Amino acid sequence: MRIISGSAGSIPLQVPRGLTRPTTDRVRESLFAVLGDLVCDARVLDLFAGSGSLGIEALSRGAVSVDFIESNGTACETIQRNLEKAKLLGGKVHRRDVVAHLGSISSARYDLIFADPPYARSDSEFELLGKLLNMGGLAAALAPDGLLVLETLSSSPLPENDLWKTMDERHYGITRVSFLSLMPRES
Protein backbone atom coordinates (compact mmCIF):
# COMPACT_ATOMS: atom_id res chain seq x y z
CA MET A 1 0.00 0.00 0.00
CA ARG A 2 1.30 3.45 -0.91
CA ILE A 3 0.33 7.09 -1.22
CA ILE A 4 -0.93 7.41 -4.79
CA SER A 5 -0.27 11.05 -5.68
CA GLY A 6 0.60 14.51 -4.46
CA SER A 7 3.53 15.79 -2.41
CA ALA A 8 4.10 12.39 -0.73
CA GLY A 9 3.19 10.27 -3.77
CA SER A 10 4.64 6.72 -3.91
CA ILE A 11 5.65 6.64 -0.22
CA PRO A 12 4.69 3.23 1.21
CA LEU A 13 2.20 3.11 4.09
CA GLN A 14 2.21 0.72 7.02
CA VAL A 15 -0.98 -1.21 7.71
CA PRO A 16 -1.92 -2.59 11.14
CA ARG A 17 -2.20 -6.28 10.27
CA GLY A 18 -5.42 -8.04 11.15
CA LEU A 19 -6.99 -4.95 12.71
CA THR A 20 -8.28 -3.09 9.68
CA ARG A 21 -9.43 -3.55 6.10
CA PRO A 22 -7.46 -0.83 4.31
CA THR A 23 -8.86 0.87 1.24
CA THR A 24 -6.94 -0.55 -1.71
CA ASP A 25 -4.71 1.60 -3.91
CA ARG A 26 -7.11 1.07 -6.85
CA VAL A 27 -10.15 2.24 -4.88
CA ARG A 28 -8.29 5.25 -3.41
CA GLU A 29 -7.00 6.28 -6.84
CA SER A 30 -10.52 6.13 -8.31
CA LEU A 31 -12.11 7.85 -5.29
CA PHE A 32 -9.66 10.77 -5.46
CA ALA A 33 -10.12 11.03 -9.23
CA VAL A 34 -13.83 11.62 -8.57
CA LEU A 35 -13.07 14.20 -5.84
CA GLY A 36 -10.53 16.08 -7.98
CA ASP A 37 -9.99 19.67 -6.82
CA LEU A 38 -12.40 19.32 -3.88
CA VAL A 39 -9.45 18.01 -1.84
CA CYS A 40 -7.26 21.10 -2.24
CA ASP A 41 -7.43 23.28 0.91
CA ALA A 42 -10.14 21.03 2.39
CA ARG A 43 -10.65 20.35 6.09
CA VAL A 44 -11.08 16.58 6.32
CA LEU A 45 -12.46 14.15 8.90
CA ASP A 46 -11.34 10.51 8.52
CA LEU A 47 -13.66 8.21 10.52
CA PHE A 48 -12.69 4.59 11.28
CA ALA A 49 -9.29 5.71 10.01
CA GLY A 50 -7.44 2.36 10.25
CA SER A 51 -4.07 2.95 8.58
CA GLY A 52 -5.01 6.55 7.78
CA SER A 53 -4.64 5.96 4.04
CA LEU A 54 -7.63 8.10 3.00
CA GLY A 55 -6.74 11.10 5.15
CA ILE A 56 -3.03 10.84 4.35
CA GLU A 57 -3.83 10.72 0.64
CA ALA A 58 -5.94 13.87 1.12
CA LEU A 59 -3.06 15.66 2.89
CA SER A 60 -0.67 14.63 0.13
CA ARG A 61 -3.09 16.09 -2.44
CA GLY A 62 -3.40 19.45 -0.69
CA ALA A 63 -5.93 19.15 2.14
CA VAL A 64 -5.14 21.72 4.82
CA SER A 65 -5.98 19.46 7.78
CA VAL A 66 -7.21 15.98 8.64
CA ASP A 67 -8.61 14.72 11.94
CA PHE A 68 -8.15 10.94 12.11
CA ILE A 69 -10.66 9.18 14.38
CA GLU A 70 -9.79 5.60 15.33
CA SER A 71 -10.54 3.59 18.47
CA ASN A 72 -7.72 1.06 18.18
CA GLY A 73 -4.43 2.12 19.81
CA THR A 74 -2.22 0.11 17.45
CA ALA A 75 -3.96 1.64 14.43
CA CYS A 76 -3.51 5.14 15.91
CA GLU A 77 0.23 4.50 16.31
CA THR A 78 0.37 3.29 12.69
CA ILE A 79 -1.36 6.45 11.44
CA GLN A 80 1.11 8.62 13.38
CA ARG A 81 4.08 6.69 11.93
CA ASN A 82 2.62 7.01 8.41
CA LEU A 83 2.20 10.77 8.85
CA GLU A 84 5.79 11.11 10.07
CA LYS A 85 7.15 8.93 7.25
CA ALA A 86 5.28 10.99 4.65
CA LYS A 87 6.39 14.25 6.33
CA LEU A 88 2.87 15.62 6.05
CA LEU A 89 1.66 18.42 8.30
CA GLY A 90 -1.93 19.05 9.32
CA GLY A 91 -2.84 15.56 10.51
CA LYS A 92 -4.07 14.98 14.05
CA VAL A 93 -4.80 11.49 15.40
CA HIS A 94 -7.61 11.05 17.95
CA ARG A 95 -8.01 7.72 19.74
CA ARG A 96 -11.76 7.75 20.19
CA ASP A 97 -14.88 5.80 19.37
CA VAL A 98 -16.41 7.30 16.22
CA VAL A 99 -19.97 7.48 17.60
CA ALA A 100 -18.76 9.15 20.82
CA HIS A 101 -16.62 11.58 18.82
CA LEU A 102 -19.49 12.57 16.53
CA GLY A 103 -21.71 13.05 19.57
CA SER A 104 -19.27 15.66 20.88
CA ILE A 105 -18.98 17.72 17.68
CA SER A 106 -20.85 20.98 17.96
CA SER A 107 -19.29 23.52 15.64
CA ALA A 108 -16.56 21.85 13.58
CA ARG A 109 -17.21 21.99 9.88
CA TYR A 110 -15.42 19.66 7.48
CA ASP A 111 -15.39 19.96 3.70
CA LEU A 112 -14.86 16.21 3.30
CA ILE A 113 -15.68 13.35 5.62
CA PHE A 114 -14.36 9.88 4.88
CA ALA A 115 -16.15 7.03 6.66
CA ASP A 116 -14.96 3.45 6.25
CA PRO A 117 -16.89 1.56 8.97
CA PRO A 118 -16.71 -2.22 9.34
CA TYR A 119 -18.50 -3.76 6.37
CA ALA A 120 -22.09 -4.62 7.27
CA ARG A 121 -21.79 -8.40 7.21
CA SER A 122 -23.65 -8.86 10.48
CA ASP A 123 -26.72 -7.27 12.05
CA SER A 124 -24.61 -5.29 14.53
CA GLU A 125 -22.40 -3.87 11.77
CA PHE A 126 -25.49 -2.94 9.72
CA GLU A 127 -26.94 -1.25 12.82
CA LEU A 128 -23.69 0.71 13.25
CA LEU A 129 -23.91 1.91 9.65
CA GLY A 130 -27.55 2.95 10.16
CA LYS A 131 -26.70 4.74 13.39
CA LEU A 132 -23.83 6.56 11.67
CA LEU A 133 -25.99 7.76 8.77
CA ASN A 134 -28.76 8.95 11.08
CA MET A 135 -26.51 10.77 13.57
CA GLY A 136 -27.10 14.49 13.80
CA GLY A 137 -23.45 14.86 14.83
CA LEU A 138 -22.25 13.52 11.47
CA ALA A 139 -24.51 15.94 9.61
CA ALA A 140 -23.43 18.82 11.90
CA ALA A 141 -19.76 18.06 11.19
CA LEU A 142 -20.14 18.57 7.44
CA ALA A 143 -19.88 22.03 5.87
CA PRO A 144 -23.00 23.07 3.91
CA ASP A 145 -21.40 22.24 0.53
CA GLY A 146 -19.36 19.35 1.92
CA LEU A 147 -19.29 15.73 0.89
CA LEU A 148 -19.44 12.48 2.85
CA VAL A 149 -17.48 9.68 1.18
CA LEU A 150 -18.74 6.36 2.54
CA GLU A 151 -17.09 3.00 1.88
CA THR A 152 -19.38 -0.01 2.36
CA LEU A 153 -19.95 -3.57 1.25
CA SER A 154 -21.25 -3.50 -2.31
CA SER A 155 -23.87 -6.20 -1.73
CA SER A 156 -25.49 -4.51 1.30
CA PRO A 157 -28.01 -1.72 0.78
CA LEU A 158 -27.43 1.56 2.54
CA PRO A 159 -29.71 1.90 5.57
CA GLU A 160 -32.70 4.21 5.27
CA ASN A 161 -32.00 7.77 6.39
CA ASP A 162 -33.48 11.24 6.01
CA LEU A 163 -30.22 13.21 6.16
CA TRP A 164 -28.24 12.18 3.08
CA LYS A 165 -28.72 12.00 -0.67
CA THR A 166 -26.46 10.00 -2.96
CA MET A 167 -24.64 12.20 -5.47
CA ASP A 168 -22.59 9.40 -7.03
CA GLU A 169 -21.81 5.77 -6.36
CA ARG A 170 -18.98 3.56 -7.62
CA HIS A 171 -18.45 -0.19 -7.27
CA TYR A 172 -15.04 -1.88 -7.07
CA GLY A 173 -15.44 -5.63 -6.52
CA ILE A 174 -16.98 -6.08 -3.05
CA THR A 175 -16.52 -2.37 -2.24
CA ARG A 176 -19.03 0.42 -2.86
CA VAL A 177 -18.00 4.06 -2.51
CA SER A 178 -20.94 6.43 -2.08
CA PHE A 179 -20.57 10.20 -2.38
CA LEU A 180 -23.28 11.75 -0.20
CA SER A 181 -24.40 15.30 0.46
CA LEU A 182 -26.80 16.61 3.04
CA MET A 183 -30.47 16.71 2.07
CA PRO A 184 -31.77 20.23 1.71
CA ARG A 185 -33.38 21.39 4.93
CA GLU A 186 -37.00 22.44 4.74
CA SER A 187 -37.62 26.04 5.72
**Residue 29 resides in a domain:** yes
Instruction: Give residue 155's domain range.
Output: 25-182
**Residue 97 resides in a domain:** yes
Question: Rounded distance, CA 55 to CA 3, Å?
Answer: 10
Instruction: Supply the pLDDT for residue 122.
Output: 66
Nearest by Cα to 32 from 141, 170, 183, 174: 170
Total number of domains in the chain = 1
Q: Model confidence over 156-172: pLDDT tens digits?
A: 888 888 899 999 999 99
For residue 118, pLDDT over 80 is answered with: no
For residue 4, pLDDT over 60 is answered with: yes
Provide the pLDDT confidence category of residue 120 given band limits of 50, 70 and 90.
Answer: low
What's the CATH number where 46 sits? 3.40.50.150
Among positive and negative, which fits the CA dihedral 126, 131, 134, 139? negative
**Residue 164 resides in a domain:** yes
